[in-house]
A and B are shown apart, each in its own frame.
Chain A
Amino acid sequence: MTKSELIERLTARFPQLGAKDADVAVKMILDEMAASLARGHRIEIRGFGSFGINYRPPRVGRNPKSGDKVLVPEKYVPHFKAGKELRERVDRIE
């Protein structure tokens, strides 16, 4: 399912709303989620999962072509952990 298919499904789910409402809502929800993570905040959606950021310390890596050592600076990376309901619904193996 792509973003545009998600918008189509939500449009069908809420026929009483305006044609553009699902489109605007999906984009706004995703923008807000991304902006929250970029500020270093967490996202917690009960039954779906939580997003957060993890710290990666600086390290010495290597250029795979030349073999030269390069300093990879510290950084933060996004992280997702599925919630209980999502885990159970996805796992079809009893």
Chain B
Amino acid sequence: MPQSESWGGSFVPDESKTNGITLTKAELADLLFDRVGLNKREAKDMVEGFFEEIRNALERGEEVKLSGFGNFQLRDKPQRPGRNPKTGEEIPITARRVVTFHASQKLKTAVEQLSDGPSA
């Protein structure tokens, strides 16, 4: 399933195409600095800790349920036949555990409404 390659065709709004508007850890840390009153170091550590604790849970095999946002789940995939797209050579894709994200109904509804207008 070429799920991981699907980014190439994904929708990118004009605004972010031109300005490259992307949320990163730096912006999240700035937000905690401005609005929670953590100092710069604490804000940076908190953001790093947030993602690290989610990674830790998933690494332990725990699903992560963040109500109102979405769930990170684990799927065990069996080995399947694959192919080197350049050479055409057959190479098995080994069995693996992967993370999937399922957006909550709240997040889905918020994102869906983008289609209500191009300026949204």
Contact = CB atoms under 8 A, between A and B. Distances in A.
A87 B98 contact: yes
Contacts of B65: 1-3
Interface in A9-33: 9-10, 13-14, 17, 21-22, 24-26, 28-30, 32-33
Interface of B: 4, 6-7, 10-13, 15-16, 21-25, 27-28, 31-32, 35-36, 38, 42, 45-47, 49-51, 53-55, 57-59, 62-70, 72, 74, 94-101, 103, 106-108, 110-115, 120
B53 A52 contact: no
Given A25-B32, A42-B21, A9 B53 contact: yes
A41 B22 contact: yes
A61 B95 CA distance: 35
Contacts of A62: none
B95 to A, nearest CB: 5
B4 A28 contact: no
Nearest to B59: A89
Interface residues on A, range: 35 or more
Contact of B32 (A28, A41, A55, A82): A28
A8 to B, nearest CB: 10
Contacts of A22: 46
Interface string A30-61: 10111111111111111111011111000000
Contact of A42 (B23, B55, B94, B111): B23
Nearest to B50: A29
Contacts of A49: 99, 101
B107 A37 contact: yes
B96 A76 contact: no
A35 to B, nearest CB: 8
Nearest to B21: A41
